[in-house]
Amino acid sequence: EIVLTQSPGTLSLSPGERATLSCRASQSVSRNYLAWHQQKHGQAPRLLIYGASNKATGIPDRFSGSGSGTDFTLTISRLEPEDFAVYYCQQYGTSPYTFGQGTKLEIK
């Protein structure tokens, strides 16, 4: 199965700063079927990005995704207080679908 490795494990930033989260796959992700999900404590996770770079419905413009093949990036251009959460990448190009271990974005 495809192993997704996210870095860093924890990212400490201040509101207003730019966040860059990385996801590396152990083999090429078919059709660039790479998604990013946000998980906040006590809430259902939600889909942010699909197909590596497409924003899901209702996701603010400050979120963007990029990359192809084995290297993908989630960028949050200017952090808002509500963006501090855990972010997971997920590939859905090859069964079994797999997730990264997560990046915790915390307030500095």
- Contact positions toward other proteins, by CB under 8 A? 30-31, 33, 35, 37, 43-47, 50, 56, 88, 90, 92-93, 95-102
Closest-CA residue to 53 (of 69, 67, 37): 67
Whole-number minimum distance, CB 26 to other proteins, in Å?
15
Identity of the residue numbered 9: G
Residues 74, 101, 84: CA angle, nearest 5 degrees: 50
Whole-number minimum distance, CB 57 to other proteins, in Å?
9
Whole-number minimum distance, CB 16 to other proteins, in Å?
29
Nearer CB in complex with other proteins: 33/64: 33
Nearer CB in complex with other proteins: 36/84: 36
Question: Tokens 């400490």 identify what position?
Answer: 12
Tokens for 48, please give them: 């942010």
Closest-CA residue to 8 (of 25, 29, 22): 22
Whole-number minimum distance, CB 8 to other proteins, in Å?
16
